[in-house]
Amino acid sequence: MKEKKMKKIEKADELIRLNKYLAMCGIASRRKADELIQQGRVAVNGEVITQLGIKIDPRKDKVTVDGKPVKPEEKLVYIVLNKPKDCITTVKDEKGRRTVLDLVKVKQRIFPVGRLDRNTTGVLLLTNDGELAYRLMHPKYKIEKAYKVEIDKPIKPEDIEKLKRGIMLDGRKTEACDIYILPDSDRKELGITIHEGRYRQIRRMFERLGYKVRKLHRVSFGGITVSGMKRGEWRYLTEKEIRKLKKLVGLE
Any idea which residues carry the catalytic annotation? 117
Q: In the chain, how many H helices and how many E strands?
A: 7, 17
- E strands present in 115-212: 121-127, 145-151, 168-169, 172-173, 178-181, 189-194
Helix (H) or strand (E) holding 96: none
8 Å CB contact between 219 and 122: yes
What b/e sequence results for 169-181 when a residue is b if at least 16 CB atoms lie within 10 Å of its CB, and e otherwise?
beeeebeebebeb
Encode 154-173 in three state secondary structure: CCCHHHHHHHHHCCEECCEE
Closest CA to 185 of 149, 217, 161, 219: 149
